[in-house]
Amino acid sequence: MRKLINFFLVFAAFNFLFLGNSFAESTQSVLFIGDSLTAGYGVNKEDSFPQVIQTRLRSEGYKIKVLNGSISGSTSASALSRIRWYSKANPKVLILALGANDGLRGVKVEATKNNLQKAIDFAKSKGMKVLLAGMMLPPNYGKEYTSQFKKMYSQLSKSNSLPTIPFLLEGVAGEKDLNIEDGIHPNEKGHKKMAENVYPHLKALL
């Protein structure tokens, strides 16, 4: 009888470990690398658009885990080091949403482009699918600079054959009721709109 009990205990433990590992292996990690817009500055973590997307996908039966490696105030210069760090978790998809702070600081477009290219190259070398989120700058930064900045994303998309969200803040930027008091960072409603902007592009990669 004791041997039989021990057998069932071992069998149960084996199945627990097996099923647990199977679940982990079937779960796709999705990595977001961005700045304050993606980090969710000004809202609760669960209201940031990456978390809103995770909740929606899980409700539809997708087994995904969001890794948010976004840092407020960050530029494209830190993209590669952050992706390298998070690559340990073996993410299947990378949403790269950087460049806004580069533009606001007047960083040369070519420098930003090179930083993003290095990040894309590394992500691809690790087998990640990359979704590039584009940004736009206010017109007061000069027509030539803002034009080059906007083209940078389409150029990266074309040269790397990447799906791209033309403008992450489409329908949010400049909308008073969708941003917090600073008029720059989205509120809860704004993050829901950003989630809508990203969702179909991300879902196509899962």
**pLDDT tens by residue, 87-140:** 999 999 999 999 999 999 999 999 999 999 999 999 999 999 999 999 999 988
At residue 140, the pLDDT reads: 87
Residues 6+ positions from 159 with CB-CB distance below 8 Å: none
Give the residue numbers marked as catalytic.
36, 182, 185
**Domain extent at residue 155:** 28-203
Q: Does the structure show a pLDDT above 90 at 5? A: no
Average pLDDT over residues 60-85: 98
pLDDT at 25: 55
In a domain, 10, yes or no: no
3-state secondary structure of 14: helix
In-domain check, residue 3: no
What average pLDDT does the segment 175-203 reach?
98
Q: Is 29 helix (H, G, I), strand (E, B) or coil?
A: strand
Residue 105 domain flag: yes
* Cα(72)–Cα(184) distance, integer angstroms: 13
19 inside domain? no
Write down the pLDDT at residue 26. Answer: 77
pLDDT tens profile 9-64: 444 444 434 434 444 457 999 999 999 999 999 999 999 999 999 999 999 999 99
3-state per-residue secondary structure call for 56-96: HHHHCCCCEEEEECCCCCCCHHHHHHHHHHHHHHCCCEEEE
Whether pLDDT at 4 is above 70: no
Q: Residue 66 pLDDT more than 80? A: yes
Here the CATH number for the domain that contains residue 89 is 3.40.50.1110
Among left, alpha and beta (phi > 0; psi -120 to 50; other), residue 47 is: alpha
pLDDT at residue 8 greater than cutoff 50:
no
pLDDT higher than 70, residue 2: no
CA distance 158 to 194: 23
Number of domains in the chain: 1
What pLDDT score was predicted for residue 9?
40
Domain membership flag for residue 11: no
| Residue 16: per-residue pLDDT | 39
Helix (H) / strand (E) element for 132: namely: strand 129-133
Q: Is residue 180 part of a domain?
A: yes
